[in-house]
């Protein structure tokens, strides 16, 4: 481990008998700091490790912390217990069952059994539809699953469960809970509510678990939800020293209950029984000055935050940000350019693919660069989602095409599956039971889909009401029209047919009606628009296009570590990569202008959580986290999107990083640090030019210039900065709301697929 900084040493030597709040910027070495804090407690202060409890954010952080304790020379016998919130709660529940306080033989729906919860929820929704307690299609399984997670994270039971925008959700929650309990099952989301309930109601248990606790350390405190906060309060009691570590600027999980105000102001209010000392770890070991300052420039626009610097630990550490922007004066396909940069990194600069990541705010943001990767045969995989051509909304659209082609063919098992997939998308309020009876009878009688639907809509024996019959006739018209177009223009590009189908079934309105006019609806519509663009670029007629999509394989069969990872910012918690690629950094995508936030609430008002952030501040934190994942360089693509897209303007965050002056000044500063000729005079000239940019120049004066060890230069720069009139910031648009080291780099082994890619 590197020697500790003065900031880190202060945390390590934090006086016993006080609470501590540590604000640690990205890459600031907080894990090493906490490890040495533990070493200080158990070796220097002889604290019994059984009196120390450490709570980490996830399993990876827990594993790394245990490894670091060994590296720091803390004997296993002196290592305190390190848990995640869930592992702590799981152990608690196991002890309850062993002691007979909780009935045993629970089925734990976790890890490989986690899917049982979704299966049960799906059955619940289907059964409620059949008995007409909720309308057909009124509740989305994934949306309900997330809502239940949020209710449980906020300790809200079914009788108090409210959901903004869909009154049927609470009914689903109540029925699901009854089914889960009847199955004698527990999920991860049940763990903390059970522990909190037992600790609140049983003083003996509280004494057993918290009575001897002297030190409680909580990592990633900015992302705790209400249930986790309540558990921390119970464990702390009135005697325990509590040390929380986190960064309010990296609170990115508000949509699942996290609140930055826990770390910004609630901590000192709740834990007021002892003096509080606040520390800041402001030096990042991860990236150089350009990335540090650009990230700092951006996050300063947030108002609900704790003011703190973000400084590169080494002024000489190289780091770069590259922006590729299409403008009215420059026609540039930014996704093509970003793809070129990836190939240059891997093929020319010999960067291993595993050191590169493509990040997005929402998965629809990736579709365009995905299509470029496919065209250039670059192996990649999506973490947390399927490739753009396999997403649910796309598969439904392709099933429409397949049914249009086979509309006058006899029904097969394949046609049956495709029909059931599309029958209620858009929602036609058709009962699943009726649809299955229809299609099974048609299959048995060997008739066509057209004949089956005609009988379904017009037969006196049909179970449909008037409105349902009208919906079926509309479906028949859409499929008949598409079938005729395919037969009349068999060589016409598939995008034309897809566009007409979208219009004839009013597909986009379906998402607004189903999800509301928020983020989920916007993302799915953008996904479809991007898919139409892909089909247009492919230029294949429907038959050939379907075959083409069927054969697509994003991985190209290469090993996982040689596939470029694409994922959302939410999935990069605590991770770092050498190179970060951010495509389509436009308004609408980043920031997402349609974010709906957390919709669950307590209808009785018993649970009072801190107010959520302003949406734009939450979005800005996501941008901040994305660029601070990089160690070497960030590549950002932005520009004018399609005319039909709602994401046209470059992101406001591009302006906020104040890219050009920051890169110029920080580069001159680095050149001065390494003694490059004329660098200091160039730095003075740039400070004179940009001295009015106070967030930039004051940071340089306060934290970087000392490393130059040139009092005369520091004095001149200080004089310029203090005499400069502040330059007011302005956006270009109206908005609603490094080179590699010159050392020899050995070529890592690459799969032959990479050799076949042309740059």
Query: Model pTM?
Result: 0.88
Helix H or strand E encompassing 244:
strand 241-246
Question: Cα–Cα distance between 502 and 488 in angstroms, integer?
Answer: 19
Let me know: does 225 contact 258? Beta carbons within 8 Å: yes
Taken in order 362, 366, 367, 368, the sign of the CA dihedral is positive
For residue 257, what is the domain's CATH number?
A: 3.40.50.300
Q: Supply the DSSP string of 713-740, one letter for each residue.
A: HHHHHHHHHHHSPPPPP--SS-----PP
Domain boundary, last residue among 155, 183, 211: 183
What confidence score (pLDDT) does residue 205 get? 93
- Any bridge partners for residue 321, and if so which? 634
Do 663 and 653 lie in one domain? The reply is no
pLDDT computed for residue 743 by the predictor:
38
Q: What are the C-alpha distances in Å from 638 to residues 246, 331, 335, 593, 651?
A: 31, 12, 9, 16, 7
Residues near 689 by beta carbon (within 8 Å), at least 6 away in sequence = 661
Q: Is 597 found in the same domain as 690?
A: no
Whether 548 is in a domain gets the answer no
| 220, 85: one domain | yes
Run of H or E residues at 464 = none
- Does residue 353 sit in the same domain as residue 419? no
- Is residue 585 within 8 Å of residue 322, measured between CB atoms? no
Q: What are phi and psi of 380, to 5 degrees?
A: -150, 165
Strand partners, 4: none
**pLDDT at residue 639, rounded to an integer:** 63
| Rounded Cα–Cα distance for residues 544 and 281 (Å) | 57
Nearest-angstrom CA–CA distance, 300 and 311 = 14
- Alpha helix ranges (H) inside 344-431: 367-375, 392-405, 413-422
CB count within 10 Å of CB 635 equals 23
The alpha carbon of residue 578 and the mean position of all alpha carbons in its chain are separated, in whole angstroms, by 19
Residue where one domain finishes, among candidates 281, 303, 331: 281
* DSSP letter, residue 282: -
Q: Can you give the pLDDT at residue 697?
A: 86
39, 70: one domain: yes
User: How crowded is residue 290: how many other Cβ atoms within 10 Å of its Cβ?
Assistant: 27
Taking the C-alpha atoms of residue 614 and residue 618, their distance in angstroms, rounded to an integer, is: 7
What's the CA gap between 574 and 22, in Å, rounded? 16
Q: Are 58 and 204 found together in one domain?
A: yes
What is the pLDDT, as a whole number, of residue 553?
Answer: 93
Kindly tell me the burial class for residue 274, based on how many C-beta atoms sit within 10 Å of its own C-beta (0-12, 13-18, 19 or more). Answer: middle
Asked, for residue 137, whether it belongs to a domain, the answer is yes
The segments of the chain whose pLDDT lies below 70 read 1, 327-331, 595-597, 639-647, 737-759
52: nearest Cα among 60, 65, 61: 65
Beta-strand ranges (E) seen in 45-149 are 52-56, 81-84, 107-108
In a domain, 323, yes or no: yes
- What distances in angstroms separate CA 550 from CA 390, 396, 398, 540, 544, one per listed residue? 9, 14, 10, 13, 10
Q: Which two tokens stand for residue 62?
A: 């827990």
Rounded to whole angstroms, how far apart are CA atoms 453 and 403? Answer: 12
CB 245 within 8 A of CB 54: no
**Taking a C-beta distance cutoff of 8 angstroms, is the pair 139, 169 a contact?**
yes
Q: What one-character DSSP code corresponds to residue 670? A: H
Q: Are residues 87 and 203 in the same domain?
A: yes
CA pair distance 637, 645, nearest whole angstrom: 16
- Which tens digits make up the pLDDT trace of 590-599? 998 776 667 8
Residues 63 and 204 reside in one and the same domain: yes
Q: What's the CA gap between 310 and 295, in Å, rounded?
A: 8
Q: Are residues 410 and 502 both part of a single domain?
A: yes
Given this model, what pLDDT does residue 754 score? Answer: 59
Looking at the DSSP assignment, which residues form a beta bridge with residue 284? 312
Distance of alpha carbon 705 from alpha carbon 713, whole angstroms: 9
Q: How many CB atoms lie within 10 A of CB 372?
A: 21
Domain at 410, CATH number: 1.10.486.10
| Same domain, yes or no: 509 and 427 | yes
Closest CA to 450 of 410, 397, 506: 410
Residue 741 domain-assigned? no
Give alpha helix (H) positions in 202-349.
203-210, 226-236, 261, 267-270, 289-299, 334-343
Nearest to 638 by CA among 345, 333, 320: 333
Residues 421 and 519 in one domain: yes
Residue 729 in domain = no
Question: Is 310 a domain residue?
Answer: no
Residue 745 inside a domain? The answer is no
Task: Mark whether 529 and 405 lie in a shared domain.
Answer: yes
For residues 348 and 557, the answer to whether their CB atoms sit within 8 Å is no
Residues 6+ apart with CB under 8 A from 63: none
Residues 6+ apart with CB under 8 A from 227: 152, 153, 154, 155, 192, 193, 196, 257
- List the structure tokens of 140: 């989305």
* Distance in angstroms between the alpha carbons of the first and the last residue of the chain: 40
Alpha carbons within 13 angstroms on the beta-carbon side of residue 565 total: 21
Of 490, 513, 541, which marks where a domain is finished?
541
User: What's phi and psi for 324, nearest 5 deg?
Assistant: -115, 115
Domain around 275: 6-93+194-281
Give the count of beta carbons closer than 10 Å to the beta carbon of residue 482.
Answer: 23
Q: Is residue 294 part of a domain?
A: no
Give the pLDDT score at 387. 92
Output DSSP code: residue 401. Answer: H
Give residue 405's Cα distance to chain centre. 38
Phi/psi of residue 674, nearest 5 degrees:
-95, 5
Helices (H), 154-250: 169-182, 188-201, 203-210, 226-236
Pick the closest to residue 255 from 20, 501, 520 (CA basis).
520
| Total domains in the fold of the chain | 5
Q: Return the half-sphere exposure (C-beta side, CA atoms, 13 A cut-off) of residue 471.
A: 16
User: How far apart (Å, rounded) are the C-alpha atoms in residues 103 and 113?
Assistant: 20
pLDDT in tens, 234-284: 999 999 999 999 999 999 998 888 888 999 999 999 999 999 999 999 999
Q: Round to whole Å and give the CA distance between 108 and 188.
A: 8
Contact yes or no for 236/589 (Cβ under 8 A): no
């Amino acid at each position: 481990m590197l020697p500790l900084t003065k900031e880190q040493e202060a945390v390590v030597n934090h006086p016993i008998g006080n609470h501590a709040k540590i604000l640690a910027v990205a890459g600031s070495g907080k894990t090493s700091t906490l490890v040495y804090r533990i070493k200080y407690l158990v070796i220097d202060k002889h604290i019994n490790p059984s009196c120390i409890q450490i709570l980490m954010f996830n399993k990876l952080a827990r594993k790394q912390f245990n490894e670091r304790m060994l590296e720091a020379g803390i004997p296993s016998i002196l290592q305190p217990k390190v848990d995640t919130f869930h592992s702590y709660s799981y152990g608690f529940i196991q002890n309850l069952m062993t002691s007979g306080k909780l009935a045993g033989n629970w089925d734990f729906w976790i890890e490989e059994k986690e899917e049982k919860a979704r299966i049960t929820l799906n059955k619940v929704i289907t059964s409620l539809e059949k008995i007409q307690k909720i309308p057909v299609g009124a509740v989305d399984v994934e949306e309900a699953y997330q809502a239940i997670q949020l209710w449980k994270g906020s300790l809200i039971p079914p009788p108090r469960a409210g959901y903004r925008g869909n009154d049927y959700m609470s009914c689903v929650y109540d029925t699901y809970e009854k089914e889960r309990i009847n199955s004698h099952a527990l999920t991860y989301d049940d763990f903390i509510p059970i522990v909190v309930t037992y600790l609140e109601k049983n003083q003996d248990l509280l004494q057993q678990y918290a009575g001897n606790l002297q030190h409680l350390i909580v990592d990633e405190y900015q992302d705790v939800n209400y249930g986790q906060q309540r558990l921390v309060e119970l464990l702390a009691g009135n005697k325990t020293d509590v040390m929380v570590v986190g960064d309010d600027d990296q609170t990115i999980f508000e949509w699942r209950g996290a609140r930055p105000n826990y770390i910004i102001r609630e901590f000192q209010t709740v834990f007021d029984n002892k003096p509080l000392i606040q520390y800041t770890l402001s030096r990042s070991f991860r990236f150089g000055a350009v990335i540090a300052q650009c990230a700092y420039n951006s996050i300063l626009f947030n108002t609900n935050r704790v003011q703190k610097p973000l400084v590169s630990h080494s002024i000489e550490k190289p780091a770069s940000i590259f922006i590729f922007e299409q403008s009215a004066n420059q026609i540039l396909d930014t996704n093509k350019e970003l793809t070129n940069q990836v190939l240059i990194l891997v093929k020319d600069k010999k960067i291993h693919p595993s050191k590169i990541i493509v990040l997005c705010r929402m998965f629809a943001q990736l579709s365009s660069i995905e299509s470029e990767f496919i065209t250039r045969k670059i192996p990649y995989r999506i973490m947390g989602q399927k490739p753009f051509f396999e997403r649910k909304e796309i598969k439904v659209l392709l099933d429409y095409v397949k049914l249009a082609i086979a509309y006058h063919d006899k029904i097969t098992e394949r046609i049956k599956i495709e029909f059931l997939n599309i029958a209620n998308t858009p929602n036609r309020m058709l009962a699943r039971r009726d649809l299955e009876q229809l299609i099974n009878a048609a299959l048995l009688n060997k008739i066509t889909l057209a004949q089956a639907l005609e009988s379904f809509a017009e037969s006196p024996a049909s179970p449909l009401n008037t409105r349902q019959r009208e919906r079926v006739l509309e479906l028949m018209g859409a499929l008949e029209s598409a079938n005729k177009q395919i037969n009349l223009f068999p060589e016409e590009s598939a995008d034309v047919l897809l566009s007409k189908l979208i219009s004839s079934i009013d597909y986009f309105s379906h998402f607004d009606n189903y999800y509301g006019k928020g983020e989920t609806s916007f993302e799915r519509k953008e996904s479809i628009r991007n898919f139409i663009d892909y089909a247009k670029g492919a230029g294949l007629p429907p038959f050939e296009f379907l075959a083409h999509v069927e054969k697509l394989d994003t991985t190209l069969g290469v090993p996982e570590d040689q596939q470029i990872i694409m994922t959302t910012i939410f999935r990069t918690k605590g991770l770092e990569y050498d190179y970060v690629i951010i495509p389509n950094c436009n308004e609408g995508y980043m920031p997402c202008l349609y974010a709906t936030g957390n919709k669950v609430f307590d209808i009785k008002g018993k649970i009072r959580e801190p107010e959520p952030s302003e949406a734009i501040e939450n979005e800005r934190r996501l941008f901040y986290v994305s660029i601070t994942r990089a160690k070497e360089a960030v590549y950002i693509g932005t520009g004018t999107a399609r005319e039909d897209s709602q994401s046209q303007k470059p992101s406001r965050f591009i302006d906020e990083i104040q890219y050009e002056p920051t890169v110029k000044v920080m580069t001159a500063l680095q050149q001065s640090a390494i003694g490059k000729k004329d660098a200091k005079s160039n730095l003075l000239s740039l400070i004179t030019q940009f001295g009015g940019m106070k967030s930039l120049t004051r940071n340089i004066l306060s934290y970087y210039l000392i490393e130059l060890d040139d009092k005369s230069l520091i004095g001149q720069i200080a004089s310029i900065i203090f005499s400069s009139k502040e330059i007011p910031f302005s956006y270009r648009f109206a908005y609603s709301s490094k080179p590699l080291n010159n050392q020899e780099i050995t070529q890592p082994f690459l799969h032959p697929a990479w050799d076949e890619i042309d740059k």
